[in-house]
Structure 1
């Protein structure tokens, strides 16, 4: 269950959602995720627990929604002047952000409760922006970049003791960009 579509942007519903998201973010900074509860969030946000349950269904869906909101990019990917440079800059930032403890927790929250394909849409949009900057240049598809760069990065972040090394990330990018 996700936030209901068709709500007025910037209206009361958006303000309530933002106050609940802000409460979740603040509580996650103050205490361990396992100890965060819907009643705590409701008190911090100034709403009733039933408001949270009505909109999100349960805590895991709310945590995923907050994580997805944080994963949405603030702006366009860095423009370094070259396809390889842009993909490297994007991938290094993604690796850095997602391999942090908050990043790992966001990925777990999203994985456990999010709509399938949502993350691929966000990441794919960022990668497509990069690819579109170089219309005259041979380049891989977004799917190839996701399969050869993003997927191994995510796998290592979630299932390995150590995240992918930057040098290995660069090797994967070189392979993905080779035609």
Structure 2
């Protein structure tokens, strides 16, 4: 009897990818982008550097994948039935994520990719597109329910930008009260 080999989700490949992404985020947080090598990422992740080159090709592609994966796996889009509640939940989750150990590194990485040549710009654009897709989904659901909704760029300007700036400059804790206030100001003026 022939047995069919199946791929298990969460197998070795997923563990390697997670370990490598975590290593990138930690190194960016510790040293800044461009101040470490693929070999150092590999050593920290416990994998061979050839595995990284084979899968990602170079540090920019790896960094972009790490940033985009972190973004899409964190800060899921809530669906509570109202835009205010969705944005409150989203902002609270974003604040918690960027305040966590990998969050600062990922923010710094996204900024650094902007100055890393064409590959970096493409990575930054992928990161921003992923974030705007999340925001657009929330706004589209709100509009379909008949709610007035701000443009996604206004959400960036009034909610995400203050969270990111406070995180990057270490300007105090990001409490739920703070993120709720950001959301309420935006919704009340829309």
Normalising by structure 1, what TM-score? 0.71
Q: In the alignment, what sits opposite 2:107?
A: 107
Give, in angstroms, the shift of residue 151 of structure 1: 0.7
Alignment-derived partner of residue 53 in structure 2: 51
Q: Unaligned 5+ residue runs, structure 1?
A: 1-14
Question: Match for residue 168 of structure 1?
Answer: 178
RMSD of aligned residue pairs (Cα, Å): 3.5
Give the match for residue 125 of structure 1: 133
SS across alignment from 1:81: coil
CA contact (8 A) 2:64 2:127 kept: no
Deviates more, 1:95-104 or 1:169-178: 169-178
Instruction: Note if contact 1:127-1:142 (Cα within 8 Å) is conserved in structure 2.
Output: yes
The count of aligned residue pairs is 163
TM superposition shift of 1:68:
2.2
Structure 2: gaps (5+ residues):
1-10, 114-119
Q: Distance in 1 between matches of 2:82 and 2:49?
A: 48
Q: Which has the higher contact order (CA 8 A, sep 6+)?
A: 2
Change (3 A) 1:22 1:73: closer
Could you say if the C-alpha distance between residues 174 and 41 of structure 1 is closer, same or farther in structure 2, counting changes exceeding 3 Å?
Answer: closer
Question: TM-score of the superposition, structure 2-length normalised?
Answer: 0.67
